[in-house]
Amino acid sequence: MAGSWDHIVTKSGKFQGTRLIDDLGDAYEALEECYGMIQWLADQAEARPGPGILSRDEWIKEAEQHYKEGLDLGGLAKKRFSGE
């Protein structure tokens, strides 16, 4: 795939930006793969047993609301939002 997860993260899983994305087709493919990954992860999260489990849609909504925390967990938030 010309645009993929592997084109936007390093081998260690850190976000590297879009330097390997050559055009909008590549960007679409990378976004599509990320979307598919989120859907799969939400499905896996919903399938875990336990009290208070969220539905797939609820997991996705939670992820949408907390994406900046995810950027921070991935080491990007400070760099991106502070202009470093």
Cα 8 to the center of its chain, rounded Å? 10
Specify the pLDDT at position 78. 56
Helices (H), the chain: 5-8, 24-47, 56-65, 67-73, 77-82
Token pair of 7 as six digits: 């084109």
Q: Where do we find the tokens 């976000």?
A: 15
Q: Which pLDDT score, from 0 to 100, does residue 83 have?
A: 44
| Per-residue pLDDT tens digits of the chain, which is 84 residues long | 567 888 888 888 888 888 888 899 889 888 888 888 898 888 888 888 777 788 888 888 888 888 888 878 777 655 554 444
What pLDDT is stored for residue 76 in this prediction?
66
Position 77 scores a pLDDT of 58
